[in-house]
Amino acid sequence: MRGINSVFARVLFGAAIASSFLWVNRTLSQQRQASVPRTVQISQQWELQPGDEVEGYRVTGGLGDISVDLDGKWVRAPFSGTAYAYNRECLLFSSAEVPAYLFRFCGLKRVRLGDRKAGDALGTGEQLHFAALRKQPDGTWAMIEPAKQVLERSLP
């Protein structure tokens, strides 16, 4: 009987280790995927985009952005969803709760990519440049006026 309990304990221990490994591996994989810059084809094209440089100065916002003074406070996920790297200056946020929309957050530091719950921190900064995009029938994304409620849910 003692040998059976010992074997059973080893099997349970091995299963626990394997389960932990799979969870850590899945989490790291999701973080890696979120950190790979996502590409989005925006139907409107402007010459200057966030991340560009003009005379050595970095562009942090663009046409269609709403800019908000953060004073170093944290920006929060407006819904449960996923934060993706977009370029050097921005992240994109998508949510199954609003599948036809993407939200672009620019100007953040200490960004947190990957799966986020509503209210989880996305990043901090001195200024937020926020834009909303809606998916078009041809698969491109169009900048639209962001809903005040979505921005309110994102602010501290």
Tokens 């970095």, located at residue: 58
pTM, two decimals, is 0.69
Q: What is the mean pLDDT of residues 94-100?
A: 97
Residue 85 lies in a domain: yes
State which residues form the domain around 140: 53-154
Residue 8, C-beta contacts closer than 8 angstroms, at least 6 positions apart: none
72 plus 145 within the same structural domain: yes
Distance of CA 156 to the CA centre of its chain: 17
pLDDT for res 25 = 44
Say which CATH number the domain at 83 has. Answer: 2.70.70.10
Tens of pLDDT, residue by residue over 4-61, are 555 555 545 555 454 444 443 444 444 455 666 677 666 666 677 777 888 887 777 7
23 plus 64 within the same structural domain: no
The total number of structural domains in the chain stands at 2
Residue 41 lies in a domain: no
Q: Which two structure tokens, joined as six digits, stand for 142? A: 């169009």
Which whole-number Å values give the CA distances from 89 to 19, 95, 132, 139, in the listed order? 36, 21, 16, 24
31 plus 88 within the same structural domain: no
66 plus 102 within the same structural domain: yes
pLDDT for res 20 = 46
- The proportion of the chain whose per-residue pLDDT surpasses 70, expressed as a percent, equals 71
